[in-house]
Structure 1
């Protein structure tokens, strides 16, 4: 982002920008979550105040455009932010083309739309800004429509750089910082404190933690929270993790999360700290997030693997509490019957379920059936849910299961996934 330099002043300015960027993560933060993109903030400080260097965005060149596009796509695919950045690129390129046309007209030259598009894509930092900076999860708002809004705002401001101070314009990094502030405004309501009440095992390998909320927490059934557990010497994965919310909004101020114990020989520092937390410990929720939400109408198919059933517990409990009548089928996959978490709560909601386990669960509810120990695959899913094409499908589980079921799930009216890889 910064102008390359070998002078003492230039090197000092670059070092200062890096220091300011790092400090901003801790000084400009709210309850453990930084507000502004650190690189954009560091570059802005040294540029606006003329501290030895300035932002030049040399990454925005034709030579690097292909590499940035390919590597950026890999990042976006992994973080599931492709659509957000596509919206940004569509807006920023269109605004940039219009801006170039206005400049050409003012200079008495003819507008060349095709050249303007190529310039915006290959000779500006827009690709890098979108793929590697706008997409940063920690500075995005919780809902997808909010993320689209931030992407559009940053696209407009970056595509039409407005002069601010002297030669400094409201473009690129300043545009991103304004988008960060809008995202913070969206996320602010979700930051509350939780007091640990109790914990219990819900299966032989998974446990649940119950909290009491301090302050007003808002979430929708199917969303997840980010829980901050400060501890000494955290490992590379840090002090925050995301957990699907088990309880329903109607259960507040009680809130529950659950997770699989996983690797007990080499647990992460986070898992050790969470396991050591005693009742009465106060922890911070830095936000509630996600769009894994049921549609207002239509038949529903829920597919859960193991502890991936947690968002469905929240959704079904809320529907039951509201007395809502929905056509819902739950397909529940577990290694064995003992690993069927929240079975009693799910049966109490009246949901119709098909269970895939190696051994037969005992005393199933009348509207629950066992799949006779058959392994769930795409063909098996279509066999037990023959009307899948008429349903909105939701699947929560490991990426491998989602991939295995993809041929069947693609036939559904819509598909929402909640992939997880454990903690």
Structure 2
């Protein structure tokens, strides 16, 4: 935080003696520093708390967290329905509708994945079923159950038929709901007993949706993206209500319009559980903001199509999915494994040859799909920071920790068994963990294998002949766990190493932290000019939380937390 600019004193103050004026100015500056200190403490505490929450949420896979959140919402809705707080749907309608959706989607998923020789993930099937339960109108009549079954089958099939190299083009639940709703709008399909109703958008469910949705967004780090969607959707909805009130000569009340947009619309659920879906979002944050704004605009003011149906919430999302796909179209490639080697006793590096054109920026990550039989709850995909630089293409490298050797995940076992020549799919490259333009001084803080994005960035600077003022702070449990020493040393970047034991043969521009534990105080002592630098930190959320007081003093801060799978 910078101090206030120079201010011209009031004429009455100017007549005070010079000594009195200086005393007042000193008191003012002291008060100002106290206010800034309190504000900084609050911000630092919030940053630390955020990272600790992320560390807890990171112990669950994304699929499992979303499933638990949706299941909790379904349980809350069932209780409220039993108590009569929610009049429609009834408890029996909820139970029957969910059973139909879950069975149909699971059967179609299992059959499709067996044909395509893909592993079946029950979590994915149940997540789609629960989302459709909240989007469609539940019922008990045969026509309603048939409509629900059709929507579920279409949603499931879209995962495999409307996909591009492992990436969903359209949100499955939104696609199933949209098709059934549009068909129901035509006379020949009036017998379909269900359509989009978004009954989840009710005041009694607003708080549960907001709390559980925030947990999901915190885990996927999509809070800001969904906030853009909500701001646009709510603002457009209020404007629409004002226009309609004027058209029908009805009194318009802003507070009432705001309450309706927030508490009686599906915006909260749509944003938290559907707009935020990673596989239908583009790779860069600014692109995600564009998609969020497009969906918010169309959801806030649904447009009529030929007078037959409107672009409702799920159809607005599908249009946003198409915009996202246009951004991400170049991101999906195939990689051929060439070799593997240990870069530390507990970390491996995989070297691939890219088939086709791949494009990424230094510091970004890719999502690698490793299909295997009987995957555990964490699924068949993982995200890896890219070690190599764009200048190294078509060679592409990633690195990862071996993890728990006694109980490794099914994914880690499958990846460990992949032999040279194996072809794997990359669903895309993502991320905004990239260096800013210009010549601003940079601080890089890496923990263990979290150094990988920095290796890519520094290699690219070296390959392109760019010179920047960079300090790297590298934390590892012991000196043997310092990966990519030779590559980092070749860049000439000043490096401060924090390990329990003293590393041998350190390069001339490397220093050892004397066995000290890296915390906020030691970081400030190691990098005295931290206030002038744009700080980047890559590591576990708990480390980021511990360093928050020092990092808050940096000129800017960008984090790349490893929340687990």
| TM-score, length-scaled by structure 2 | 0.74
Which segments of structure 1 move beyond 4 Å, counting only runs of 4 or more? none
Identify the range of structure 1 (180-189 vs 142-151) with the bigger mean alpha-carbon deviation.
Answer: 180-189
Name which of 136, 149, 156 aligns with 1:15: 149
Task: Point out the more displaced range, 42-51 or 217-226.
Answer: 42-51
More off after superposition, 187-196 vs 159-168:
159-168
Alignment map for 1:265-284 (pairs within 5 Å):
265-284=406-425
CA-CA distance at 1:291 after TM superposition: 0.2
Displacement of 1:34 in angstroms is 1.4
What is the Cα deviation at residue 165 of structure 1?
5.5
Which residue matches 1:42?
Answer: 176
Select 2:329's aligned residue among 172, 188, 210. Answer: 188
Give the aligned partner of residue 371 of structure 1. Answer: 513
**d(CA) in 2 for partners of 1:134 and 1:101?**
26
Root-mean-square deviation (CA, aligned residues, Å) is 1.2
The farther-off stretch of 197-206 and 79-88 is 79-88
Q: Describe the SS at the equivalent of 2:360.
A: coil
Shift of 1:284: 1.1
CA contact (8 A) 1:91 1:152 kept: yes
Of residues 460, 464, 489 in structure 2, which corresponds to 1:347?
489
Aligned-residue offset at 1:237:
1.7
Instruction: Provide the rounded CA distance (Å) in 2 between the counterparts of 1:378 and 1:399.
Output: 14
Are 1:324 and 2:471 an aligned pair? no
Task: Indicate whether 1:258 and 2:399 are aligned.
Answer: yes
Q: Is 1:233 matched up with 2:367?
A: no
The alpha carbon displacement at 1:168 in A equals: 2.3
Q: Is 1:306 equivalent to 2:448 in the alignment?
A: yes
Aligned to 2:269: 128
1:420 aligns with 2:562: yes
How far does residue 32 in structure 1 lie from its aligned partner after superposition? 1.2
TM-superposed CA distance for 1:200, in Å, is 0.4
Q: How does 1:96-135 map to 2 (within 5 A)?
A: 96-135=237-276
Match of 1:208 among 349, 359, 376: 349
Partners of 2:141 and 2:193 within 8 A in 1: no
Q: Distance in 1 between matches of 2:513 and 2:372?
A: 44
| CA shift for structure 1 position 223 | 0.1
- Say which SS state the counterpart of residue 407 (structure 2) adopts: coil
Query: For the Cα contact (< 8 Å) 1:46–1:52, is it kept in 2?
Result: no
Shift of 1:113: 2.1
The 5-angstrom pairing of residues 62-73 of structure 1 reads 62-73=203-214
Distance 1:165 1:101 in 2: 24
Q: Deviations over 1:236-275 (max 9, x none)?
A: 2221111000000000111000000011122222111111
Counterpart-to-counterpart distance in 1, 2:418 and 2:213: 39
**CA shift digits 1:353-398 (9 cap, x unpaired):** 0000011111111110000000000111011011111100000011
Alpha-carbon shift at residue 4 of structure 1 (Å): 2.1
| CA positional deviation for 1:152 | 0.4
2-side partners of 1:306 and 1:165: how far apart? 58
For 1:334 and 1:379, the matched residues in 2 are separated by 18
Distance in 2 between residues matched to 1:11 and 1:80, nearest whole Å: 36
**How is 1:138-149 mapped onto 2 (pairs within 5 angstroms)?**
138-149=279-290
Q: Secondary structure at the match of 1:275?
A: helix
What displacement does 1:16 show? 2.0
Structure 1 position 151 matched with structure 2 position 285: no
Secondary structure class of the residue paired with 2:324: helix
2:505 & 2:408 partners in 1: Cα distance?
35
SS in 1 for 2:330: helix
Which residue of structure 2 aligns with residue 405 of structure 1? 547
C-alpha contact 2:336 2:422 (8 A) present in aligned 1: yes
Specify which structure has the higher proportion of strand: 1
Give the deviation of 1:421 after TM superposition.
Answer: 4.1
Deviations 1:19-77 (A, max 9, x none): 22122112211111212111111111111112331001101111111221122122212
Partner-residue secondary structure (3-state), 1:362: coil
- Contact persistence 1:159–1:171 (CA under 8 A): no
> In structure 1, what is the equivalent of residue 309 of structure 2?
168
Please state how far the C-alpha of 1:233 moved relative to its aligned partner. Answer: 2.1
Q: Which sections of structure 1, spanning at least 5 residues, go unmatched?
A: none
Aligned partners of 2:281, 2:264: CA distance in 1, in Å?
A: 26
Aligned counterparts of 2:220 and 2:306: Cα–Cα separation in 1: 36
Partner residue in 2 for 1:177: 318
- 2-structure distance, mates of 1:133, 1:170: 16
Larger Rg: 1 or 2?
2
* Greater relative contact order, per chain length (Cα 8 Å cut-off, separation 6+): 2
